[in-house]
Amino acid sequence: MKINKWTLGLAAAGVVSFGAVAQAEEAKESLKTAIASTTISGYVNTSVHYNPKQNLAPGYAIGAGKQNGFNLDVVNVTLEKALGEGEWAAGYKAEVLFGPDANQLGVNSAGTATSDLGIKQAYVNLRIPVGNGLETKLGVFDALIGTETFNAGSNPNYTRAWSYTIEPFQHTGLQASYRFCEWMSLSAALANTTTSVINGRPGGAGGNRGNISHTALVSLTAPKSTGSLAGATLNFGYLGGRANGAGAPSAYNLYAGASIPLPVTGLSLGLAYDKRIVPNVGAAKNNDDDVYGLYLSYRATKKLTLNLRGEYADLNSGAAAVRAGTEVLAGTLTADYALWVNVITRLEYRIDHDLSGNRGIFNAPAAAAAQKFNNSHLLALNVIYKF
C-alpha cells in the first residue's frame, strides 16, 4: 500500500488517523481494480425514413413517429464487468438508453410516465459452481425468446420484424443458464410480469397476488462432427404469465428458431415461428397471433452483405398496434456496406401488405380507415456508430 507524502504528514500531525488513511487507500485500490475490469461500450443510432403516399407509420415495433424525416433513434451506453474464470466469479451489466426509442420499450418503473431515458438491462451476474457452472442474473435482463433484439445493429435488418412486436422485451426477475455439453444449453427465468415495466406487478399497486411469470429457452448447436451443418442452431422457447397492471389477462408465447449454413459460401438461412396465445376473454374469440419468418443472408464481398427477410403475420391479440384480424405479408431487403471503421451503414427497402384489406397495418388503428392504401412502403437509411 502506498501513502502519499501529504496524507502521511496530516496523519503525523494528528489531523487524520493512520487507520483511516489505510482504509481509504485500500478502498481506493479496490475501486481501481473494479474500474479496470469494467468495459464501456454502446452506440449512437440514427436514420432517415421516406414513406411515400402515407402519413401514418405501420404498426410494427419501434417504428412509430419516424415516417418522412430525419431521426435520432436511440443512444446506448453500457457498463459491464464480464464473469471471470473463477468458480465463484461475479460481474454486472448496466445498459442505459437515451432518446425516442427508449420510451417505446415501456421499461419505466411502475407508476412513472414514459421518458427518453430507459434501462434496457441492469443485473448482477453470479456463477455458482454446480456441475459445469450455473450462471445467474438478478435484476432486469433481455427476454429469452425471439430471433431479433432491441439493438438494431445486432439484427440483420434495420426495422424490426412483426414477430418482435408480439414478443416480450425485458423482464425483472431471476435468470439461470446452464450448458450441459458442447451442443446443448438451457436458460430459464422467473419474472414479475411478461412485460417490460421495471418492478411491475400483475396485480397492480396491490402486489403480484402470487402470479409469477416463467420463461425458458433450450438451445441446440450442431458440433463440428456434423460436417457442413456445424454451427447450425435450433432454439425452442416459452413464456407464460401476466402483464403489468391490475386485471391483466394471462398470456403465453411459444418460439422456435433455426439458423442453418447453406452449401454456398457466404449464404445462410434462418427460420422463425412465434405464437402469442391470449385465452378467450368474455365474448372475444381467436385472440392468438401467429408470425412466420424467413431470413436469408449473403455476404457478397468483405464489405457488402445483403439481408432478406420475409414474414407472414396473423395478428389478433392486440399486442401489435393494428386492428384485430389483420393479416400482413411483409418483405424487407437490406444492403449493409462497411464504409467507415466502427460504423454500420445500410440502406433498406420494406413493404408491408395488408392481406385482410382493412388497412390495419398502420399505427393508429382507429384512424386506419382514413388511409387509402393497403400497402406500406419504406425506404430507410440507417447509420450507427459503435464504440
The letter for the amino acid at 49 is: H
Residues 58 and 152 in one domain: yes
pLDDT tier for residue 284 given thresholds of 50, 70 and 90: low
Residues 22 and 48 in one domain: no
The C-alpha cell at 12 is 503525523
Residues 73 and 192 in one domain: yes
DSSP letter for each residue of 270-303: EEEEEEEE----TT-----EEEEEEEEEEE-SSS
Please compute the mean of the pLDDT values over residues 339-361 and round it to a whole number: 92
* Residues whose CB falls within 8 Å of the CB of residue 165, separated by 6 or more in sequence, listed in order: 59, 60, 61, 315, 319, 320, 321
Residue 167 pLDDT > 60, yes or no?
yes
Compute φ and ψ for 250, nearest 5 degrees. Answer: -70, 150
Residues 340 and 363 in one domain: yes
pLDDT of residue 238: 97
- In angstroms, what CA-CA distances link 200 with 192, 240, 244, 355? 6, 15, 5, 36
The C-alpha cell at 110 is 411502475
Please compute the mean of the pLDDT values over residues 358-366 and round it to a whole number: 66
95-154, pLDDT tens digit by residue? Answer: 999 999 998 887 776 655 667 899 999 999 999 999 999 999 999 999 999 999 999 999
Residues 98 and 166 in one domain: yes
241-283, pLDDT tens digit by residue? Answer: 988 776 667 889 999 999 999 999 999 999 999 999 988 655 5
Report the share of the chain in percent with pLDDT over 90. 63
The letter for the amino acid at 84 is: G
Residue 300: Cβ within 10 Å count: 12
> Is 295:269 a contact under the CB 8 Å cutoff?
yes
Residue 174 pLDDT > 50, yes or no?
yes
- Which residue in 137, 144, 131 sits closest to 83, CA to CA? 137
User: Backbone dihedral region of 195: left (phi > 0), alpha (psi from -120 to 50 degrees) or beta?
Assistant: beta
Q: What CATH number does residue 326 fall under?
A: 2.40.160.10
The C-alpha cell at 70 is 430525419
pLDDT of residue 281: 59
Tell me the C-alpha distance between 164 and 148, whole Å.
7
pLDDT of residue 10: 46
Min mean pLDDT across 56-60, 175-179, 368-372 is at: 368-372
Residues 25 and 95 in one domain: no
pLDDT of residue 55: 72
Mean pLDDT of the chain: 86
Number of domains within the chain: 2
Residues 54 and 26 in one domain: no
pLDDT tier for residue 56 given thresholds of 50, 70 and 90: confident
Residue 328 pLDDT > 70, yes or no?
yes
Strands (E), 165-286: 170-181, 184-191, 213-221, 233-242, 250-261, 267-277
Residues 19 and 115 in one domain: no
State how far Cα 77 lies from the chain centre. 15
- Which residue in 285, 286, 287, 289 sits closest to 276, CA to CA? 289
Q: Is 196 helix (H, G, I), strand (E, B) or coil?
A: coil
pLDDT of residue 287: 84
For residue 122, list its beta bridge partners: 94, 140
Tell me the C-alpha distance between 53 and 59, whole Å.
16
The C-alpha cell at 104 is 417505446
Residues 67 and 162 in one domain: yes
Residue 21 pLDDT > 50, yes or no?
no
Residue 336 pLDDT > 60, yes or no?
yes
Tell me the C-alpha distance between 74 and 68, whole Å.
18
Tell me the C-alpha distance between 157 and 153, whole Å.
8
> What number of CA atoms fall less than 13 Å from residue 62's CA on the CB side?
26
> Is 29:55 a contact under the CB 8 Å cutoff?
no
Please compute the mean of the pLDDT values over residues 26-35 and round it to a whole number: 58
20: domain range?
1-36
Q: What is the pTM of this model?
A: 0.85
Residues 23 and 53 in one domain: no
Residues 204 and 295 in one domain: yes
Min mean pLDDT across 142-146, 222-226, 329-333, 338-342 is at: 222-226
The letter for the amino acid at 110 is: A
pLDDT tier for residue 311 given thresholds of 50, 70 and 90: very high
pLDDT of residue 8: 47
Residues 342 and 292 in one domain: yes
